[in-house]
Structures are given as structure tokens and as C-alpha cells.
Chain A
Amino acid sequence: MAMTRKFPGPSKLLGSPFAWLFALFSVAVAVWMLLTSLKSTRAIFAEPWSLPTTPQWDNYARAWTASDFAGATLNTVILVFGTAVATIALSAPAAYALSRILTRWNSGITAFFALGLGIPSQVIILPLYVMMNELYLVDSLTGLWILYVATSMPFTVFFLTGFFGSLPKELEEAAALDGASANRTFWQIMLPLARSGIITAMILNIIQHWGETLFGLVFLQSEEKATLSLALLGFLQRMQYNGADWGGLFAGVCTVVLPVLACYIWLGRRIIEGMTLGSVK
């Protein structure tokens, strides 16, 4: 088929429209989500395709006050940033040691951390529940924070070990020759050097916990401690008694999605590479 070089072949002719259609579908879902969040429930079903005639900002007011998405957003923000900071504080030194301080334990411990990547949360959640219950840390955001940090260890340590391993050694050696202690070398040379990897690890961690549901569902009970995904589930549940309030629900959905979308538009390439590059290397 030497022709393919002069004329676009059938695969190309059909191919790119297909790829664009696939992408446009996702865009359409996002746009339609935004529009729906500004419509009255009646308009959502009567004219699903049309623009909202008068934007119903009231949907957001209802979601934020009556269903307390405001409180849930605050809980989630504190929880998620607290988790990311603590996760990095604990896993960056470990990853540095695993990639740069050579002992006979390194490869064993690295593999041991990697093992955790294959263990589904459903496997560990029962003993964790019993344990947290004993410690009075069920229905507590502190308890959930500890769990989030602990369960972030395998991926973050593994991710950062690879990253520290790829950094040049020379600066570290120079610092050591200048008399900096190993501890100081880590904090003042390596950590700033690894900044981009650490930021990527933090972003991935934040995104992962922003919509986390299983642990929140199991470990939180009271409504004032709900995270965003629990607030959404609660909203869904209430709709069965109070009648459908799809406008309010979508205002809640947008509250969850829009910060992630903003983050993605700003840091998209970094997020994509962080989540996928390791598989190709």
C-alpha cells in the first residue's frame, strides 16, 4: 500500500475523527455537567441540551449551605494537604536512603514496599477498623489522616526512590567534600534538587485523596466530619426522601471536579507523566 503516503488511507480518514469524537465526548460531559449545575431540576429534564435561561446560582447556595458542602470542602482541603505534607516528610528520607545509601538491605526493602502496591484496600480495611476502634480513632479526621498517610507509603516511597536514583551524584559528593554532614546534605542539597519529583508526588497524592471514598465511608460517621465524596453520597441519599434536586447535586459535583480541573489545566503534563512515565522507563 504505497498509496498511503500520497493519499490519506482509510484508517487515517476514519481514525482522526474517531479519536476526536472520543475526546469530544468527555468534553461534552464536562460542559454539560457545568450547565446542569446552573439549571432548575425541571429545565434539566425538559431541555437537557439548552443553555440555562437564567443561571440558578441558588443550586450552589443550596449545596453549600443546606447540604454543607462548605464544611466538607474545608475538611477535605485540610485532610488532603495534611496527608500530602506528612506523606512526603516521611517518604522522602526513606526514598533517599533507599536510592543513595547502599547497604545490603536496599533492594529487599524497595521490593517490600512495592509489594504494597498489589494489596487491595479491601484486604487491610477490617483489621484497620478494629485497630482504629481500639484507639478511639474511628469517626475522627485525625484517624483518617493517619490512615491516608500510612497507605500512601508504598506508592510514594516507590515513586520517589526512582526519582532520587535519577539525580546526579556530583553535587552530593561535592557537599560531602566541603564537610557537610550526610544529614545536612540531604536537607540542603538533595531535597531542593528533588523538588520537581517531590511536587509531582504531592500532586498525585492530593488528587488521589481528594475523591477518596472507601476509607472515608468506613471510618467516618458523623455528618460534620464528612469529606467531599461522602457529602455527595449523602446528598444522593437525601434525594430519595426530599425529592430529586439534580441541580443541587450537580452543583456539588462541580464543587468536587472544578478544583481538580483547574489543577489539571495548570499542571496537566506533570500529572500525566507522574502517573504513567514509570511504566515505560
Chain B
Amino acid sequence: MTATAVRETEPAQRQPAVPAAQSSPLARGRKRLFWPFIAPALVLYVVFYILPTLATAWISLNKWAGAGPMEFAGLDNYRRLLLDPVFQGSFANTLTILFAVGGATFALSFLLTMILRDMAGRKAVRAIIFFPNIISGIVLSILWGFLFQAEGVVNQALRTFGMDNPPNWLGTENLFSVIMIGLVWVQTGFFTTILMAAVDRIPKDLYEVCDLEGANAWQRFRHVTLPLMWDVVGVCAVLWSISAIKIFEFIYAFAGAAGQLPPTKVWNTALYAYAEAFASGVPKYGSAAATGMVMLALVGVLVVLLRRMFRRDTVQF
């Protein structure tokens, strides 16, 4: 539920200041309001967002238990992370979620977008598949986990189809796959909705031309639909990267079966950061902060790469 809408152009840039208006008393009266209007939001944002980010960067270079003296440690925390097998696993899981779940979600979203393009009842289907997006991750996780219980609905269904020994879904060896499938289920509706809106903007006559030229479904998608929605796909990829790295609740609540935290095999970096700071015996703020910085760096690298990848002359239509 952390969807964010990224606009390519800042609205403020659309209207260049008119020099003549600046001197009028009206404009001056408005100018006086600029800082009083912006200051409260800006101060709150700087104090609770920007300064903590900088503080985390500093903490990540120190050994600290959250209270008491801080001990400067240089890059020790980062070195420790590199050597910690649990962190390696968590980082690998974060990447797996990013690319495997992302890939499956995008493939499924494209498929559904094409199916829904001219299907009866598309609005209803869209409304239904979007719904999981606004439900708390904890709830989704409880529901999803319960479906896969040993005596749960999924296994009962498998048994009626003649599978006598259905897999132990919530065992450590299968749990991460179950989590990944669940994430695809939750996320697909969101991206399908965005892609559908992009497809709806494409003029119908382009598809009529396709029909006249005898293009098949794949050709239509490859040469008309995809190029014309390319910029939106880029925005989706950025949105996915940011939200995928933050995923926490959906994995965390699988602890329900095993105590405080789920098995380390299914941790991602978000869980690792939480565990280091708040759920281990002595809080390790240094390495939790370093994990946070790794996450931030990953977001930064992905956003830059994706913007470069998707930067292309937007097709005008």
C-alpha cells in the first residue's frame, strides 16, 4: 500500500513566471505567503525524513547499541554484512523478489491488460484484482498462509485431485516460493490497472490499421501497444523497484507459525534491518543502519538504471 505516483514533469515548471506579474502588488502579496505556507510541511519533512536519513548514514559507520557511547568503526559494519550468511541470503531474497516476482507480475499484468482491453466486464475485473492492494500486508499474509496450512484449502483441493502427499508449503524449503506467489497475486492488480490506463490512451484507429495489415495479436502488441506505452512501463518499473525493496509485513507475519520472526531463509533486507535493530538481544544499530543504506543505494541504482533504460524519445500520438 505504498503506491506513489511519479510525475515526469513537476507541475510548477509548466507555468514560467511572468516577469510583469512579479511587480504587481497582487503578486507580491502572494509571494509573502510562499514560505509560511510551505514551511510547516517542509520542516516536518526535513526533521523526520531527511535528517534521519543522514543520521542513518552516520550510524552505519559506527558501532552502537542505540544508547551509550558510539564507537567509530569505519566500514566495519558493511564488511560484517558482506560476510554474514544471513545477510547474503536476505540480499539474495530481495533481488529475487525484485526480478523474479517483478518479472512474473509484469508478464501477468501485460497479459491481463491485453485480455481486458476489449473484454466485457473489464471494469469489474479491474476493481476486484486491484482490491488486495489496499489491504494491510499483515492480513494478506495471514490469509495467504492459512490457505497453505497442512490441512488448509490448497492441500484439500490437491487431495481431491488425487495428490496424496501434498507438499509442506509452510516448511522452510517451500515458504519463500509461497511468499513470492502471494506477492504476485497482490501486486498484479495494481500494475494491470496502470497499464490498462496507458493502453486506453492509444487511439483505436492504430489497431484498425493493424487489422487491415493482417497483424496478429503478438505483432499488434510488439509494434503498437508496447512502444506507445513504453514511458508508462518505465514508471511502473520504478514504482515496483521502490515498493519491492520495502516489502516487510507480508513476510514478517509468516512468523505466526514460528515465534517472533520468520525463518531467516525467507528474510529480505527489510526484515534483516528490523531484526538487527529491534529483535536481536543487543540492538545492533550499526549494522541495521548499514543495511538501510544498502537498501537506499539499491533504490538509487535501480531508479537511475531504469530511467536510463526507459529514456527514449516518447512517441507522440
User: Inside 8 A of B13's CB, which chain A residues have their CB?
Assistant: 106-107
Nearest-neighbour CB distance to chain A for B113, whole angstroms, equals 10
The A-B contact count (CB < 8 A) is 319
Nearest-neighbour CB distance to chain A for B9, whole angstroms, equals 9
Q: Indicate if the CB atoms of B129 and A123 lie closer than 8 Å.
A: no
- The segment from A52-60, A62-70, A206-214 found at the interface with B is A206-214
B136-177 CB contact bits vs A (8 Å, 1 = yes)? 111100110011000111001000000000000000000000
Looking at chain B, what size class is its interface with the partner chain?
35 or more
Interface of B is mostly: helix
B309 on the interface (CB 8 Å rule)? no
Q: Indicate if the CB atoms of A127 and B55 lie closer than 8 Å.
A: yes
Q: Indicate if the CB atoms of B232 and A119 lie closer than 8 Å.
A: no
Nearest-neighbour CB distance to chain B for A191, whole angstroms, equals 12
Interface of A is mostly: helix
User: Inside 8 A of A29's CB, which chain B residues have their CB?
Assistant: 143, 147
User: Inside 8 A of B295's CB, which chain A residues have their CB?
Assistant: 120, 122-123
> Within residues 9 to 35 of chain A, which ones have a CB less than 8 A from any CB in chain B?
9, 11-12, 15-16, 18-20, 22-23, 25-27, 29-30, 32-33
Instruction: Name the one of B26, B40, B288 contacting A126, with C-beta atoms under 8 angstroms.
Output: B288
How many angstroms from the CA of A84 to the CA of B300 in the assembled complex?
29
A135-160 CB contact bits vs B (8 Å, 1 = yes)? 00000000000110111011101110
B135 on the interface (CB 8 Å rule)? yes
Q: In the complex, how many residues of chain A place their beta carbon closer than 8 angstroms to a beta carbon of chain B?
A: 116
How many angstroms from the CA of A29 to the CA of B143 in the assembled complex?
8
How many angstroms from the CA of A164 to the CA of B111 in the assembled complex?
35
Can you list 25 A-B contacts with CB-CB less than 8 angstroms, sorted by A residue number? A11-B114, A26-B129, A26-B189, A27-B128, A30-B131, A116-B45, A116-B50, A117-B6, A120-B299, A122-B270, A127-B52, A127-B59, A157-B41, A158-B7, A183-B33, A211-B138, A229-B138, A229-B249, A256-B139, A261-B131, A264-B131, A264-B134, A275-B3, A278-B6, A278-B7
Q: Which 10 interchain pairs have the tightest Cβ spacing?
A: A211-B136, A278-B5, A165-B11, A150-B48, A106-B12, A127-B55, A94-B41, A15-B115, A97-B37, A124-B52
Residues of A near any B CB (own CB < 8 A): 1-2, 4-5, 9, 11-12, 15-16, 18-20, 22-23, 25-27, 29-30, 32-33, 45, 48-49, 90-91, 93-94, 96-103, 105-107, 109-111, 113-114, 116-131, 146-147, 149-151, 153-155, 157-159, 161-162, 164-166, 176, 181-183, 186, 207-208, 210-214, 217-218, 228-229, 232-233, 236-237, 239-240, 246, 249, 253, 256-257, 260-261, 264, 268, 271-272, 275-281
